[in-house]
A = this chain, B = another copy of it.
Amino acid sequence: MQRIEQHASFGGRQEVWKHASASLQCDMKFAVYLPPAALRGEACPVLYWLSGLTCTEQNFITKAGAQAHAARHGFIVVAPDTSPRGSAVPDDPAYDLGQGAGFYLDALQAPWATHFRMESYVVHELPALVQQHFPASDARGVFGHSMGGHGALTLALRHPGRYLSVSAFSPIVAPSQLPWGRKAFAAYLGDVGAAWAAHDAVELVRGPLSQRLHLLVDQGEADEFIDTQLQPERLREACAARGHPLTLRMHGGHDHSYYFIASFIADHFEHHAQALSGRA
């Protein structure tokens, strides 16, 4: 592990680290915000932020305005890159497949299966690294945007007990049904219906779950992808049908950008704080 950036920020420190990932078999970067409490050596809950298509570890830490809230709540915030990276890693010229489009799952078929194992990376390898190198408690939450909102919802639903809280901005809730998800799932998972359903938040909510974690979802009504790629009403219907706790907030005028995320990120920290604070 090598620290490649550090910046004082709201009494804490925004850092970026580089390391050789065993799950992804490539060098990876991730961002970590250490709040003042962590710099004092106190064990802090960890929030994992998962970014959307084309993003790296940089987008969230430069644009979301999260550090002020992380500092106040005493949360470590970890933001990984969105896929394996590098010239040895398969890629696709499209922005929505290959590098920058890992979809937070472990790919099942060639040429993707060797490196594209973002679920293993985010759920297991990265938290182990974080526990080892930073004053992290066992309390974990996960949130994300768009493809990363899909990641947050599916990882929390697939790994009961691993995350105490989950939320999403403008998530892809039904990747099996809509173009971004269908393209990625066909490439990474192949023609396997059961594998698709296992990585689809709507399908997961419909199925049997040992735990029904409260989902907070914020969605802009002027989001340019709402009709073609997101369709949050699918999640609303599935949650209503199964009695799964969901707070879905629709925001007039808001688009798919980080301006939307920044406007409501304080509420997401409050949501996670209800589950994570005092759990250090």
A residues lining the B interface (CB < 8 Å): 7-11, 13-14, 62-63, 65, 67-68, 220, 222, 251-255, 257-260, 262-263
Contact = CB atoms under 8 A, between A and B. Distances in A.
Contact of A258 (B62, B222, B254, B255): B62
B222 A8 contact: yes
Contacts of A220: 8
A7 B260 contact: yes
A8 B63 contact: no
B65 A9 contact: no
A67 B259 contact: yes
Q: How many copies altogether? A: 2
B9 A263 contact: yes
B62 A8 contact: no
Contacts of A68: 65, 262
A36 B51 CA distance: 29
Given A8-B260, A9-B262, A255-B7, A62 B65 contact: no
Contacts of A63: 62-63
Contacts of A262: 9-10, 65, 67-68
A67 to B, nearest CB: 7
The 5 closest A-B pairs by CB, nearest first: A7-B259, A8-B253, A65-B65, A9-B259, A8-B254
A168 to B, nearest CB: 18
Nearest to A221: B8
A261 B240 CA distance: 44
Contacts of A14: 259
Contacts of A259: 7-9, 14, 67
A270 to B, nearest CB: 15
Given A10-B262, A67-B262, 7 more contacts: A8-B252, A8-B254, A8-B263, A9-B262, A62-B258, A67-B259, A67-B263
Contacts of A11: 263
Nearest to A64: B65
Contacts of A252: 8
Nearest to A71: B263
Contacts of A62: 62-63, 258
Contacts of A222: 8
A218 to B, nearest CB: 12
Nearest to A257: B7
A256 to B, nearest CB: 10
